[in-house]
Amino acid sequence: MRTIDINCDMGESFGSFTIGSDETIIAAVSSANIACGFHAGDPLVMDRTVRLAKENGVGVGAHPGFPDLMGFGRRKIQTFPGEITRYLIYQIGALAAFATAHGVNLQHVKPHGALYNMAAADEAVAREVVEAVRAVNGNLILVCQPGSVLAHMAEKEGLRVAREVFPDRAYLADGRLAPRNLPGAVIHDPQAVRDRVVRLLEERVLFSLDGEKIPLEADTLCVHGDTPGAAELARIIRKELEEAGIAVEPMGRFL
């Protein structure tokens, strides 16, 4: 039986601000990417989200990003050499400490937002991400876009890689995620998301914004927790997978 993971960005509330619906969506996913306080999240939210993941049998992962609360980590930031590595070590270490406090192992690392996109294409950024993960724990899974610079570099350096596909995000013809400022970049229609999952399962392809077929292999499917209707999208995706005879499990159980 084929197995796949469904991951979701979670724990992105902070202070008095609530973002996403973690308590609702947690039942439909198998891995949680938990914000580590730089682009979102705070110590109280991190603690609560790790506990929520443990109670629901969901794998715990760190979701580190640029120090950019104002821009939710979606703005490119110019850094000095080695700065990104240290940003990630700091954030992964913080989330790992909460995981230890709750008696669970940290499963994976998924860079957030602009950092994720930059590492997919920029060798210097990708190298800093790989160095950070290896420095903290070389057994952690690194979540990457399939075929990206980061995925190739991580595999070459001996890290475990989870190839990630976004059913609720549009792609460009070259396989990159469509920038969020483009019309149609985020897909809100549950039926459209369902159709994309079916096509991905049956044909291992998605269509780009301009209609080009993009071949994609997936170990994990991402649903964005801050997308309106995210919980319903996650339920639809999981139902479609299970009806197709595909088991949904945390990525650490099969990678």
Domains of the chain: 3-253 (3.20.20.370)
Q: Which residues pair with 133 in a beta bridge?
A: none
Spell out the per-residue pLDDT of the chain, length 255, in tens.
Answer: 789 999 999 999 999 999 988 999 999 999 999 999 999 999 999 999 999 999 999 999 999 999 999 999 999 999 999 999 999 999 999 999 999 999 999 999 999 999 999 999 999 999 999 999 999 999 999 999 999 999 999 999 999 999 999 888 888 888 888 888 888 888 878 888 888 888 888 888 888 888 888 898 899 999 877 777 788 889 988 998 998 899 999 999 999
Pair of tokens at residue 164: 């990630």
State the pairing for strand pair 220-224/213-215: unpaired
CB 25 within 8 A of CB 224: no
Its pTM stands at 0.94
Q: DSSP letters along 97-133, please?
A: HHHHHTT--EEEE---HHHHHHHHH-HHHHHHHHHHH
Query: Contact at 8 Å (CB) between 40 and 73?
Result: yes
